[in-house]
């Protein structure tokens, strides 16, 4: 997310919230078990009725002018690719299950 969202520019009118109320704050991450093999993880940072994740992802819906107004920053696909390339999601799941006391074997 840093490469796609935070690094491209430094805001001049506000301070980014990041993990303190922003897109990467755990309180803004919705996790839902869809079925026994599918887990949905979604950033749900809201600004009143507006989903900030969707605005940043699409570049549409900003209420002020700035250099990235209208410019999409597709962090969802970049995150998906990073997970596929690094396997960090598998390692995180493994550590979490072990921490819960489960015996886990990675195949």
Six token digits for residue 52: 């900030």
Distance between CA 105 and CA 83 in Å, rounded?
Answer: 20
Could you count the other beta carbons within 10 Å of the beta carbon of residue 97?
12
73-94 tens-digit pLDDT? 898 898 999 999 999 999 999 9
**8 Å CB contact between 40 and 63:** no
Q: pTM of the entire structure?
A: 0.66
Q: What are the extents of the domains in the chain?
A: 2-99
23-59 tens-digit pLDDT? 889 999 999 999 998 989 998 899 889 999 999 999 8
Could you count the other beta carbons within 10 Å of the beta carbon of residue 23?
21
Q: How far is CA 56 from CA 21, 28, 43, in A?
A: 15, 15, 11
């Amino acid at each position: 997310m840093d490469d796609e969202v935070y690094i491209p520019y430094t805001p001049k009118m506000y301070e980014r919230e990041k993990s303190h109320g922003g897109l990467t704050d755990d309180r803004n991450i919705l996790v839902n078990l869809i079925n026994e093999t599918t887990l949905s993880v979604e950033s749900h940072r809201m600004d009143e009725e507006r989903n900030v994740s969707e605005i940043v992802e699409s570049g549409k819906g900003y209420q002020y002018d700035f250099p990235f107004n209208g410019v999409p920053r597709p962090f969802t696909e970049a995150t998906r690719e990073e997970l596929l390339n690094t396997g960090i999601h598998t390692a995180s799941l493994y550590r979490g299950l072990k921490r819960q006391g489960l015996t886990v074997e990675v195949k």
